[in-house]
Amino acid sequence: MDENREKLLREVMAADFTLIDLNLYLDTHPTDQRAILLFITSAQRAKMLRDQYERLYGPLTVMSSGMGCPWPWIQSPWPWEKTSL
Amino acid sequence: MWIYDKKLEYPVKIKNCNPKMAKYIITQYGGPDGELAASLRYLSQRFSMPTEEARSILNDIGTEELAHLEIVGTMVHQLTKGVPADVLEKNGLGAYYADHDHAIYPISAAGNPWTAEYIQSKGDPIADLYEDLAAEQKARATYENLINLADDPDVIEPLKFLRAREIVHFQRFGEALRIVEDKLAQKKFFITKPEFLKKRE
Ligand SMILES: [Fe+2]
């Protein structure tokens, strides 16, 4: 995978991980307003990075698979492949 | 339901094959304290959790464990990809190769296939959450053992990430347990075993 793509994908992964971790915290602290605010701003950042990645390199979820023939979703690499990063 | 996201939760890019290490790491795929057991345990227990906090934490940690299962599977895959049969055999994977070639199959480090006997789903939220706390500690300890066996930073970094997640999960389950215990302590709030309570009187 080319360098720019790997760099951007790693940024998407890091941004999404922030949301995963914050969400677990909010599950047991549902009234922590500071954390809720942090989740909202982190989610905006994650969405921006995701949109950017998908525009350049193809869909991360099948829902965001744009038009294309052959179907863009099936294109390699899949995340477990050595070439995926 | 779930929607697949075409990326790992944490990057895995292992340059050098190491079938011996793969034989150990696979235990977190299909072993007694592995990610498959963790995920199925939490995703099964969530149906009988009595509070919103407990339901959501089991749902969401159970989901994250599926992402961990994928990370571990990816590590085993990359550690063994293209390794010839005789090299696998020399590294203790001869029997595995006979049954599974280079495929990924849920077994423990000792070769025992995954079994639902590794998990419980008791319908009693206190019993279940205590099991979950113990499970997270056992998984943490397993990752520490694996880190001790590893010498490649490409392998050690994801293992360190997974170990750190077990500590976070333990913390969150502890909070959920406290919330559930508080709720159960409230009078007239019978969410578990009203039959038992009646018979005891
Ligand atoms: Fe965990």
Q: What is the CA radius of gyration of chain A?
A: 15
What is the C-alpha to C-alpha distance for residues B83 and A44, in angstroms, rounded to an integer?
43
A57 in a structural domain: yes
What is the C-alpha to C-alpha distance for residues B66 and B107, in angstroms, rounded to an integer?
16
Contact B31, B107 (CB under 8 A): yes
B8 in a structural domain: no
Q: Which residues in chain A have their CB less than 8 angstroms from residue B13's CB?
A: 82, 84-85
A84 in a structural domain: no
Number of domains in chain A: 1
What is the C-alpha to C-alpha distance for residues A35 and B33, in angstroms, rounded to an integer?
31
What is the C-alpha to C-alpha distance for residues B88 and B100, in angstroms, rounded to an integer?
12
Enter the pTM of the model: 0.95
Most A CBs within 10 A among B7, B15, B56, B79, hence the mutation to make, goes to B7
Domain range for A73: 3-77
* pLDDT block averages, 10 residues each, chain B of length 201: 97 98 98 98 97 98 98 98 98 98 98 98 97 98 98 98 98 98 78 65 57
B192 in a structural domain: no
Q: Which residues in chain A have their CB less than 8 angstroms from residue B168's CB?
A: 21, 24
What is the C-alpha to C-alpha distance for residues B153 and A28, in angstroms, rounded to an integer?
34
B24 in a structural domain: yes
Q: What's the N-to-C CA distance of chain A in angstroms?
A: 6
Using the Cβ of A14 and the Cβ atoms of chain B, whether some distance falls under 8 Å is answered with no
What is the C-alpha to C-alpha distance for residues B53 and B76, in angstroms, rounded to an integer?
34
Contact flag A80-B70 (C-beta cutoff 8 Å): yes
B12 in a structural domain: no
Nearest to A27 among B4, B53, B74 (CB): B53
A51 in a structural domain: yes
Contact B125, B54 (CB under 8 A): yes
Contact flag B78-A82 (C-beta cutoff 8 Å): yes
Q: Which residues in chain B have their CB less than 8 angstroms from residue A78's CB?
A: 6
Q: What is the pLDDT, as a whole number, of residue B188?
A: 60
B7 in a structural domain: no
What is the C-alpha to C-alpha distance for residues B96 and B137, in angstroms, rounded to an integer?
28
What is the C-alpha to C-alpha distance for residues B112 and B69, in angstroms, rounded to an integer?
17
- Weakly modelled stretches of chain A, pLDDT under 50: none
What is the ipTM metric for this complex? 0.96
B11 in a structural domain: no
Please state, as a whole number, how many other Cβ atoms lie within 10 Å of the Cβ of residue B200: 7
A25 in a structural domain: yes
Number of domains in chain B: 1
Q: What is the pLDDT of residues A5-28, one digit of tens each?
A: 999 999 999 999 999 999 999 999
**How many Å lie between the alpha carbon of A36 and the closest alpha carbon of chain B?**
15
Rounded distance from Cα B105 to ligand 1 centre (Å): 20
Domain range for B83: 19-186
Strands, E assignment, chain B: none
Contact flag B57-A82 (C-beta cutoff 8 Å): no
What is the C-alpha to C-alpha distance for residues A29 and A21, in angstroms, rounded to an integer?
12
**Domain containing B178 — which CATH number?**
1.20.1260.10
Rounded distance from Cα A36 to ligand 1 centre (Å): 23
Contact A75, A58 (CB under 8 A): yes
Four-CA torsion B76, B78, B82, B87, nearest 10 degrees: -50
